Amino acid sequence: MNKQTLVKTIRQKQSYLCVGLDSDIEKLPPHLNGDVLVFNKAIIEATKDYCVSYKVNTAFYESQGAEGWHNLIETFKMIPDSHFIIADAKRGDIGNTSNQYAKAFFEKMNCHAVTVAPYMGKDSLQSFLDYKDKWTIVLGLTSNKGAEDFELQKLANGKKLYEEVISKISTWGTDENLMFVTGATQASHLGDLRKIIPNHFLLIPGVGKQGGDLKAISEVGMNHDIGILVNSSRAIIFASSGEDFAEAAGKEAKKVAKKMKAIINSSNS
């Protein structure tokens, strides 16, 4: 999915919601007996009208061994082609290894995007960037406490490390194939970030259970293309642990989408 199509989808739906399929087998409603595929299918059906994207956190599948990998592949197949499909895999390795990761997620699983860690430099990302109409989503500024260990440290030039990293990486691709992850609890830094990458999309996790403020991050993070995908995982997919889990997820997604529509309309007025 190219940028033009993604922007068009967001504007048509008046939503920039990304639903995270962090389908922790230990948190599934008891009556499902651990059937991840039944759970995911019901969640997708209940939320697809309100979101434009799904982010599948591969760790929750990989941890289940061969069955988990089967569930991961089948989950990607369930997501409608009309939605932006993200493999939240956080890969990043030397070129030869990255070639295989890129092939796995872009060719074999047909994802539109994959998250990557940039620590090893340009050659570790190049394999992903080489794919046409695919997206490399780079970890930029995360919400975890450990962000203070490296990302928020000041360099000798006065910049914070995350600013230097994002500034450099933005020259390796374009706003047509590069996105950056920015945690929702880092709203205070979004203004500075937008000065560096005004036209790139941002993937913003952390709204919901992690406490990110949707209105605050939207007002600072949005650009002329709207330019953000806001992810909510647990707050939506685990809105209920009962037999009404899918209905509850749909209601929660609808609620978030309604807020997003109001924010978009407000920004256009």
pLDDT digits (tens, 9 = 90+) for 75-132: 999 999 999 999 999 999 998 999 999 999 999 999 999 999 999 999 999 999 999 9
Q: What is the pLDDT of residues 59-78, one digit of tens each?
A: 999 999 999 999 999 999 99
Contact present, 250 and 33 (Cβ < 8 Å) = no
Assess whether 215 carries a catalytic annotation: no
pLDDT tens for each residue of 180-196: 999 877 778 888 899 99
**Distance separating alpha carbons of residues 63 and 98, to the nearest angstrom:** 21
pLDDT at 269: 63
pLDDT of residue 9: 98
pLDDT number for residue 212? 66
* 6-20 mean pLDDT: 98
> For the chain, what is the domain count?
1
Secondary structure of the chain: what % helix, strand, coil (to 5)? 50, 20, 35
The pLDDT tens digits of the residues spanning 20-40 come to 999 999 999 999 999 999 999
Can you give the residue range of the structural domain that contains 256? Answer: 3-268
Per the CB < 8 A criterion, the answer to whether 185 and 212 are in contact is yes
Token pair in block for residue 246: 């899918």
For the stretch 217-229, pLDDT in tens is 898 999 999 999 9
The pTM assigned to this predicted structure is: 0.95
- Torsion sign (Cα): 7, 134, 137, 155: negative
Q: What confidence score (pLDDT) does residue 49 get? A: 98
CATH number of the domain to which 156 belongs: 3.20.20.70
Element spanning 98, H or E: helix 95-102
Indicate the pairing of strand 113-116 with strand 201-204: unpaired
- In the set 90, 160, 255, 261, the catalytic residue is 90
178: left (phi over 0), alpha (psi -120 to 50) or beta: beta
Q: Are 236 and 249 spatial neighbours (Cβ–Cβ below 8 Å)?
A: yes
